[in-house]
Amino acid sequence: MSWSTADIPDQSGRRALVTGATSGIGYATALELLRHNADVLIAARNPQKAAEAAAGLAKASGKEPDILELDLADLSSVQQAAEQVAKTHDRLDLLVNNAGVMATPYRQTVDGFELQLGTNHLGHFALTARLMPLLRQADQPRVVTVSSFMHKTVRGISKADLTAENGYRKWESYGKSKLANLLFMLELSRRAGDSLVSAGSHPGYASTHLQAAGPELAGRQFQARVFGAATRLVAQSAAAGAWPSLYAATLPELRSGSFVGPGFLGYRGAPRPATPTSVAQDPELAQKLWAWSAEATGVDAF
């Protein structure tokens, strides 16, 4: 299948919110949506970085995005952000759950959850639920949740993983957070039925700041530089890494429950349909995760 950003249809009249849009895949996703005439909100934790990103996006696209302050590791911030969007917008056509952290040293979110699962999954679960009234006002609402091929490295997830009760292994936790993204995406598709398209994507191996962020948090600057240099040598660009997200966000005929990744061995190239692991497609596990997540966040979309 051949696809490029030139195939994105005109997005005029479509309102999108992209999390983690100050750099990397989120920035590239927001940029192409703006270039194709969507109205875009970029959600980010750091106001200064958000302002710098907005300026860069406006210069590159000729269309200025709006800024939304959002910390996915703080459920009160998620609630405040959703309330702010509701004050200024009457609907939301597209939500791209893109932001994430990877292989961080052990940390807790503001609400006491393990940082990676708390940010990558619980924060987006709560955001999607709180924005659901606005999504329901759109004619053809769509939610794209960004996962990773790293979901293949784990065999399951438990309620105890949300708080790392049984110990913490950074790469295992990252894999579980990406598994949670897919379980959530597919369960949202089942629960929403024809009322909403819920799709997933993964960027393959893309060059972003994500690879170096974990070592930086641990104070390992040399390791961060090595990771960054190695990634730049072998990975595809962040812009190419955003193609699966953009394909999932804009292909008119995309079916709910679709999962999209790079075409060449799942690591790089033009997007094509991808297959989640059997664990990620387990509806019983997805229902359990949904219940745990609703209990943890205090909010439920369906």
- Give the pair of three-digit tokens for residue 66: 């709006």
Active-site residue flag, 174 = yes
* Catalytic site residue from 148, 173, 174, 201: 174
CA distances from 198 to 153, 159, 171, 185, 249 (A): 23, 23, 26, 6, 10
Q: Known catalytic residue: 147?
A: yes
Catalytic one among 147, 173, 201, 258?
147
Q: Do residues 71 and 54 touch, judged by C-beta distance below 8 A?
A: no
Q: Would you state the torsion angle of the CA atoms of residues 18, 20, 23, 27, taken in this order, to the nearest 10 degrees?
A: -10
**Identified catalytic residue from 148, 177, 178, 258:** 178
Helix (H, G, I), strand (E, B) or coil at 180: helix
Instruction: Give the integer Cα–Cα distance in Å for 28 and 22.
Output: 9
Coil, helix or strand at residue 263: strand
Provide the residue type at 156 as one letter. Answer: G
Q: What are phi and psi of 19, to 5 degrees?
A: -85, 150
Report the catalytic residues. Answer: 147, 174, 178
